[in-house]
Chain A
Amino acid sequence: MNKNFSWFNLTSITFGFAFLYIPILLLVIFSFNESKLVTVWAGWSTKWYSALLENQALKDAAWVTIRVGLVSATVSTVLGTLAAITLVRMGRFPGRTLFSGMIFAPLVMPEVIIGLSLLLLFVAMGFDRGFWTITMAHITFTMCYAAVVVQARLQDFDKSVEEAAMDLGATPINTFFQVTLPIIAPSVISAWLLSFTLSLDDLVISSFATGPGATTLPMKIYSQVRLGVTPEINAISTILIGIVTIGLLLAAYVTKRQTERSERERRKAFGAAG
């Protein structure tokens, strides 16, 4: 492989990542700018971060967003894991094609359509729109991402381990909690983190699903962005980027350790057998 790695490859990677990261870096750097002008550097300052702490409306929105994220990510991970098991382990059953269609369609479906259709459902059902309707809307689209993440892991691992457990008399539920879940745990954690960040970021679907009283952080940011670029938005964005980066690094670390451990155990098992 390495001898094929030419200057051309290195250049395209370098330019590609510069394109991906320079906008984010500029945004982060200028959140520490002294001046109110977002594009002219005037020295380091953290004053925009302290300004955030005094903005009660923003803090309220952040709190709503975090609560929605925690509840929806948890429910969506449970439903997504069940959906992944259905897709990978359940074989054929009536309505399977429709089911896999409903899992994959939301991944590409324009958000305005999902948002509008959910809102009309909530109105038809007579729900009070607010925290719970946003949460239900988020569960709906994030569970599909969760299902895809867990599904990839379920497909990878050797089914015979599960079969062995059941041959030895474990019930399906025992098998799931003692054999399957520990193996797919890293993907379940990733699914939770992905659902949480997707929920944290969502603007369009939340805007449709919400009612008076529940404003999420992206909705707040959006209404301010429309008025122009301000260093406060840079500061809040930087905090969000920081949270997501830490979350993702954590997920990568968990996955890496898990794979290393299972690799070690496998080698040990083979060593003992040989």
Chain B
Amino acid sequence: MSAKANGLGRWYVIAAPYLWLLIFFLIPFFIVFKLSLSDVATAIPPYTPTFSWSEGIGKFISQLDFENYTFIFGDPLYVNAYLSSVKIAAISTVLTLLVAYPMAYGMARAPKSWQPTLMMLVILPFWTSFLIRIYAWIAILKPEGFLTMFLMKLGIISEPLQIMNTTTAVYIGIVYSYLPFMILPLYASLEKINPALLEAAQDLGSRPWRAFWQITFPLSLPGVFAGCLLVFIPAVGEFVIPDLLGGSDTLMIGKTLWNEFFNNRDWPLASAVAVILLLVLTIPIVLFQRQQQIERESGR
């Protein structure tokens, strides 16, 4: 409370990060939106200003040009890219949950003295370069890679595996790189569960499996929810993984945006792709914000 007493100083503290984020995070979205309404041109920068704010609101409205949007919705390539990104992200999120849950559960049950080390082992890959971790999978998944060699030596397969440059490789890549984002919130919620609850259930004759579904799992739902959003939202717009591990038939919108921007140099169209992607992600992002808020308030 007393920190609030100092009126002017308080505003200085708030103003610096606030202004920074307004200028570098919020305002740019409006610029993206504005640009998505203009045309591509062979100039530097490569677009024509369709309208200027100074000519009055009537002129402004009459000049709005939704050509890029009608183009995106008219071309099945873009529509499919959005749909397949959401599908790939959703499937990967479920797979990540399936891999992460037993791990987080095991970590929460591990002896207390192990837990800081286990946490550290989960965090370390998260701090290691994303690009490098994806790169590491190329050597494993490619036809003459480690996985094929290993399985051939065991005699399980006789032909090289065709995983590299397929959507399967993209699933593996997403599960692998986003695993820590899922484990950490799961672990946080599992670790809080009072073991006495499970003991009570056991004493009353409940089988472990039933106790798990009726007590542990419902209590871990906030962690499941947070983890799924932390994986799903960025995965929808993922670029590096589909680009390096996916094939030509792996459609993902992040890659489409990148190609429009860097290869076709169509900045207005890339902006329109970004605006629609943002709209697709609005609901999950708002859910994530609310979840964080609840978490923060209950953490006090």
A residues with a Cβ closer than 8 A to B are 1-2, 4-6, 8-13, 16-17, 19-21, 23-24, 26-27, 30, 38-39, 78-80, 82-83, 85-87, 89-91, 93, 95, 98-114, 116-118, 120-121, 123-124, 136-137, 139-140, 143, 147, 151, 155, 162-163, 166-167, 171-173, 175, 194, 197, 200-201, 203-204, 207-208, 218, 221-222, 225-226, 229, 233, 237, 240-241, 244-245, 247-248, 252
Interface residues of B in 19-76 (CB under 8 A from A): 20-29, 31-32, 35, 45
Q: Judge if B171 is at the interface, Cβ distance under 8 Å.
A: no
Alpha-carbon distance A5/B107, docked complex (angstroms): 9
A11→B110 CA distance, assembly (Å): 12
Would you list 13 pairs from A and B whose C-beta atoms are within 8 A, ordered by A residue?
Answer: A9-B105, A12-B103, A13-B103, A13-B107, A17-B103, A39-B146, A102-B21, A112-B237, A139-B24, A166-B3, A240-B128, A240-B129, A241-B129
Q: Please tell me if the beta carbons of B140 and A26 are within 8 angstroms of each other in the complex.
A: yes
A168 to chain B minimum Cβ distance, whole angstroms, is 11
Contacts known (A80-B17, A140-B21); A27 close to B132, Cβ less than 8 A: yes
Q: Are A9 and B110 in contact (CB under 8 A)?
A: yes
Assess A99 versus B2: contact at CB under 8 Å? Given A105-B285, A121-B31, A225-B138: no
Per CB-CB distance, the 8 closest pairs between chain A and chain B, nearest first, are: A110-B237, A117-B28, A12-B102, A16-B103, A9-B106, A83-B17, A23-B136, A201-B129
The chain B residues found within 8 Å of chain A, CB to CB, are: 1-6, 9-10, 13-14, 16-18, 20-29, 31-32, 35, 45, 99-100, 102-103, 105-107, 109-112, 116, 118, 120-125, 127-133, 135-140, 142, 144-146, 149, 176, 179, 183, 195, 198, 229-230, 233-234, 236-240, 244, 254, 257-258, 261-262, 267, 270-271, 274, 277-278, 281, 284-285, 288-289, 292-293, 296, 299-300
Contact of B20 among A6, A111, A121, A140 (CB under 8 A): A140
Q: Contact check: which of A110, A136, A151, A218 meets B233 at CB < 8 Å?
A: A110
Chain A residues, CB < 8 A from B102:
8-9, 12, 16
Q: State in angstroms the CA–CA spacing of A163 and B154 once bound together.
A: 67
A147 to chain B, nearest CB (A): 7
Whether the Cβ atoms of A104 and B138 lie closer than 8 Å is no
A residues near B300, Cβ cutoff 8 Å: 155
Q: Is the CB of A26 within 8 A of B139?
A: yes
Are the CB atoms of A203 and B16 closer together than 8 Å?
A: no
Given contacts A27-B136, A90-B13, A120-B267, contact A110 B131 (CB under 8 A): no
Question: Which one of A9, A85, A111 contacts B239 once the chains associate, using CB atoms below 8 Å?
Answer: A111
Q: Chain B CB within 10 Å — which of A107, A112, A118, A204 has the most?
A: A112
Residues of A within 8 A of B17 (CB): 79-80, 82-83, 86, 99, 143, 147
A112 close to B136 (CB less than 8 A) = no
Cβ-defined contact, B106 with A162, below 8 A = no
| Contact between B139 and A39, CB atoms less than 8 A apart | yes
CA distance A95 to B22 in the complex (A): 11
Interface centre among B18, B257, B277 (most CB of A within 10 A): B18
CB–CB B139/A30 < 8 A: yes
Assess the B99–A90 pair: CB atoms within 8 A.
no
The 8 Å CB contact of B258, one of A83, A107, A112, is A112
Nearest CB of chain B from residue A140's CB, rounded to whole Å? 4
Centre residue among A105, A110, A118, A147 by max chain B CB count within 10 A: A110
Q: Which residue of A lies closest to B14 (CB)?
A: A86
Q: Are A13 and B24 in contact (CB under 8 A)?
A: no
Closest approach, in angstroms, between the C-beta of B119 and any C-beta of chain A?
9
Q: Which of B110, B123, B267, B288: most chain A Cβ within 10 A? A: B110
The contact of A108 among B24, B29, B229, by CB within 8 Å, is B229
- Contact partner of B285 (CB less than 8 A), chosen from A38, A109, A241, is A109
A128 CB, nearest partner CB in chain B, Å: 13
Please determine whether A121 and B28 come into contact, CB atoms closer than 8 angstroms.
Answer: yes
A116 and B145 form a contact (CB under 8 A): no
For A151, the chain B residues whose CB sits under 8 A away are 296
Quick one: given A26-B140, A100-B293, A120-B35, are A252 and B120 in contact (CB under 8 Å)? yes
Q: Which A residues are in CB contact (< 8 Å) with B124?
A: 244-245, 248
Q: Is the CB of B129 within 8 A of A110?
A: no
| Bound complex: CA A87 to CA B127 (Å) | 25
Q: Tell me the minimal C-beta distance from B31 to chain A in angstroms.
A: 5
Which of A13, A111, A162, A221 is within 8 Å of B237, CB to CB? Answer: A111
CB distance from B7 to the nearest CB of A (A): 11
Given contacts A82-B17, A121-B28, contact A102 B135 (CB under 8 A): no
Contact of B128 among A24, A83, A98, A101 (CB under 8 A): A24
A73 to B209, CA, bound (A): 47
Further pairs besides A16-B102, A98-B26, A110-B234: 14, Cβ < 8 Å:
A12-B102, A30-B139, A89-B3, A104-B292, A108-B233, A110-B238, A110-B239, A112-B254, A140-B25, A162-B3, A163-B1, A166-B3, A194-B127, A201-B132
